[in-house]
Amino acid sequence: MKNIILLILIVNSFLFAEKLATVHNPGLIINDTFRVYSFQDPDIKGIACYASTPVIAMSFSCKQIGPISGDIKSKSKIFEASSKAFIKGVFVDRIFDKRNNTLIYFRYTRKIKADSSNNTISVVPLTHIN
C-alpha cells in the first residue's frame, strides 16, 4: 500500500503543494510511507497549511507564518487532493469567524461509504488584523 497511495493535486488559484519529506515506517506486518506537504492559502498571505499522507489518516495543521493580509472571507475548496488508489477526495475550506476574529481551515474527505468520512479543523487567530 505504501506506493499505491499517490496524491494528485488539483489546486485552485494556482496553489501547489510542496512535498517537504518522505518518511518510511517499517511496520511489523505492513510497511508504510508517509509524505509531508506544505501549501499556502491562495488568497491570504502569511498562512501556511501542512498535511501528511496517507489520505485515510491524514494529519493537518495551519499556522501563521508571517504578516496576514488579503481578502479575509470564507471560501470553499482552497485545496483539493484525491487518492488515485481509492478515488477518495480530500478538501480544505476556509471559514471566517468574524465574531472571534479567526480563520478556520476545515479539512474533510469525500465519503466512499456512510461511515468513512473524516474531518479536522485548524484555527488561525487574526490577532493583528482589525
pTM of the model: 0.74
Q: Which three cell numbers stand for residue 77?
A: 475548496
Asked, for residue 87, whether it belongs to a domain, the answer is: yes
Task: Find out whether 91 and 107 touch, Cβ atoms under 8 Å.
Answer: yes
d(CA 82, CA 124): 25
| 52-72 confidence digits (pLDDT tens) | 876 556 788 999 999 999 989
Q: Where in 12-74 does DSSP place strands (E)?
A: 18-26, 31-40, 44-52, 59-70
Asked, for residue 2, whether it belongs to a domain, the answer is: no
d(CA 105, CA 52): 15
Rg for the chain, CA atoms, rounded: 16
Asked, for residue 27, whether it belongs to a domain, the answer is: yes
Give the range of the structural domain holding residue 15, as residue numbers without chain letter.
7-125
Asked, for residue 51, whether it belongs to a domain, the answer is: yes
d(CA 23, CA 35): 6
| 14-46 confidence digits (pLDDT tens) | 246 788 998 887 777 777 788 888 989 989 999
| DSSP-assigned states of every residue in 59-120 | EEEEEEEEEEEE--S-EEEEEEEEETTTTEEEEEEEEEETTTTEEEEEEEE--SSTT---EE
**Domain count along the chain:** 1
